[in-house]
A = this chain, B = another copy of it.
Amino acid sequence: MSLRIGLLGATGLVGRTTLELLEQRDFPAAPTLLASERPRDATLAFRGQRLAVEPVSPEGFRGLDLALFASANGVSEAWAEIARAAGATVIDLSSAFRYHAEVPLVVPEINGALLDARPTLIANPNCSTIAIALALAPLHRAFGLERVAVATYQAVSGGGSEALAELEGGVRAGLEGPPPGRAGGLPAFAFNVVPHIDRFEDNGYTREEMKVVWETRKILAAPDLAVTATAVRVPVRVGHCAAVNARFGRAPSPADARELWSAFPGLRVVDDPARSRYPTPLEAAGGDAVLVGRARRDLSQERALEFFVASDNLRKGAALNAVQIAEHLVRSRVSAP
């Protein structure tokens, strides 16, 4: 079976990472590359060829089985129905459809079974939430999660290639003098910590923080789960971290947690303080696994753990998770009667 895949938003950071993953993994055919704006690079490399990047159009989706949308909300909203009408199943990385009750929000290791119902629109979760939910999932199943509080340490690449260029420029300038602020009066990324990702909501939380709240509940199928979050940008290129505090119905020990994590797909335990081994963004970047470690009993309450996660926000936090959703769909299609 020859599967035809399209990639909208091919020239962005996540789009390029998606293309790399499609190249490295078992997708036989070259994808159709689409972009919402006239791309600067008219072609992108794929297995030794140069693939043309076409401006997105209704015709661009014709004949596609799968369309990965590595696009901003507005672009996803504009094109998802058109792609589905053309017969493509859409895997959308934006947050446009994540909170629609009928749209599954999928981390394949946790709730890949939702794909068996053959949805034609699937939402890929927020970059930080994927890693946090993956570390929580096996603990939740075994011990019953009651409350989660997280503080994130998020890489600047999560803001896209322009944000990353601002970090690079800011760091260079900041080696010689004070790092310059960003456009719009926003504080510098370089040599700074910025507790502001996405826009502010009326409740004082940022949209990024609310994504962690809403999406953790949806992915874990725990609609009443108590969740709070602080989302913070740090001067790192790639690799999101989170300090996670989780309280359970029954008390897991740190050893219980490490055992469950070790057995769960997509997680790698890095937790050997005596050898200074714990999750860091530099270790997570470029890899597929969500790293988890620093497991310890919460000193402030019963039945609770503290731990720390790190993952590549462009890969498992975005492109890899979406490609894994695509792989899951392909497998279930092949194995279907």
Contacts and interface: CB of A to CB of B under 8 A. Distances in A.
B204 A149 contact: no
A157 to B, nearest CB: 11
Given A234-B234, A243-B232, A300 B192 contact: no
A151 B148 contact: no
A218 B158 CA distance: 40
Contacts of A194: 280
A109 to B, nearest CB: 24
A149 B213 CA distance: 18
Contacts of A301: 147, 226, 228
B243 A308 contact: no
Interface in A281-337: 281-283, 294-301, 306, 308, 310
A276 B199 CA distance: 9
A158 B197 CA distance: 26
Interface of A: 147-149, 151, 153, 168, 171-172, 175, 178-179, 184-188, 191-196, 200, 203-205, 213, 226-228, 230, 232, 234-237, 239, 241, 243, 245, 254, 273-276, 278-283, 294-301, 306, 308, 310
A contact face: mostly helix, strand, loop, or mixed:
mixed
Nearest to A280: B187
Nearest to A308: B195
Copies of the protein in its oligomer: 2
Contacts of A213: 299
Contacts of A191: 235-237, 281-282
A307 to B, nearest CB: 9
Contact of A243 (B205, B230, B294, B300): B230
Nearest to A295: B204
Contact of A282 (B175, B192, B226, B239): B192
Contacts of A241: 193, 195, 232
Contacts of A192: 236, 239, 280-282
Contacts of A188: 282
Contacts of A236: 191-193, 235
Given A203-B299, A228-B301, 19 more contacts: A149-B245, A151-B151, A153-B232, A171-B175, A179-B282, A185-B276, A191-B237, A191-B282, A192-B280, A193-B234, A194-B280, A195-B243, A195-B279, A200-B273, A200-B274, A203-B297, A204-B254, A228-B245, A230-B308
